[in-house]
Amino acid sequence: MLKRRPFLLAALAALAAPFAARAHHGWSSFDQDRPLFLQGRVVASKWRNPHAELVVELPAGYRLPADLATRAVPAQAANIDGKALLAKAVAPTRKDRRWEVELGPLTQLEAWRMAPVQVGATIGVLGYTFKDEKGEAVLRAEYVYVDGKAYALRSAPAG
């Protein structure tokens, strides 16, 4: 049995690798030159590490909100031009109505005093998906709008 252990461990690691890669994406996987904005109803919420996740369902015929460019962006420690990102944001071209939204780790969400988002809530999310919107309908959140409040998710609050 001891001689088979390294082989078994290597085989298990090889089998698990695709699932681990799918479960957590680094920033380099996302097209940061094309911000998307989603606004819809939360149909699933997982408030856990390594990052909280939501599933957001867009309404049929989804279009960008008319007030998008005028929305507030919170001050954060990272040097990000949130107003420029809002002005540049587009609606997704793919037809998926349900999107998995990756938020930050719980410690970061707590620093912003962001309460767990409940199923049924309507939220807005500015973020990034994969280049040319290929792959799964996943959005990595930069800003989240919940109950009239904006949260930045790249860094800690400024100040």
Q: State how far the alpha carbon of 4 is from the alpha carbons of 1, 10, 12, 13, 14, in Å.
A: 5, 10, 12, 14, 15
C-alpha 115/C-alpha 157 separation (Å) is 15
C-alpha 77/C-alpha 11 separation (Å) is 43
The predicted pLDDT at position 154 comes to 85
The predicted pLDDT at position 152 comes to 94
User: Is 150 within 8 Å of 62 (Cβ atoms)?
Assistant: no
- Domain-by-domain residue ranges, the chain? 26-152
pLDDT above 60: residue 110: yes
Secondary structure class of 29 (helix, strand, coil): helix
pTM to 2 decimal places: 0.82
Sign of CA dihedral 119, 133, 154, 63: negative
Structure confidence by residue, pLDDT tens digits, 130-139: 999 999 999 9
The predicted pLDDT at position 7 comes to 44
pLDDT above 80: residue 42: yes
The CATH H-level (homologous superfamily) assignment of domain 26-152 is Nucleic acid-binding proteins (2.40.50.140)
Secondary structure class of 65 (helix, strand, coil): coil
